[in-house]
Amino acid sequence: MTLRSGIDALYERYLRWQVKHIPRHVAVIQDGNRRYARDQGLNTAVGHRLGADTTEEFLDWACDLGVRHITLYTFSTENFRRDKDELASLFTLFREKFLAIIRDERVHRNHIRVQMIGDRSLLSDDLLSTIDAAEEATRGYTDYYINVALAYGGRNEIVHAAQSILDEVRRGEIDPAAIDPDTVENHLHRGAAPIPPVDLIIRTGNDCRTSNFLPWLANGHESAVYFCAPYWPAFRKIDLLRAMRVYDQRMRLKERAA
- Catalytic residue numbers read 31, 79
CB-CB contact of 113 with 138 (8 Å): yes
3-state DSSP assignment of residue 147 = strand
Dist CA 87 CA 105 (whole Å): 29
Give the other-Cβ count within 10 Å of 86's Cβ.
Answer: 16
Dist CA 117 CA 92 (whole Å): 18
CB-CB contact of 202 with 218 (8 Å): no
3-state DSSP assignment of residue 29 = strand
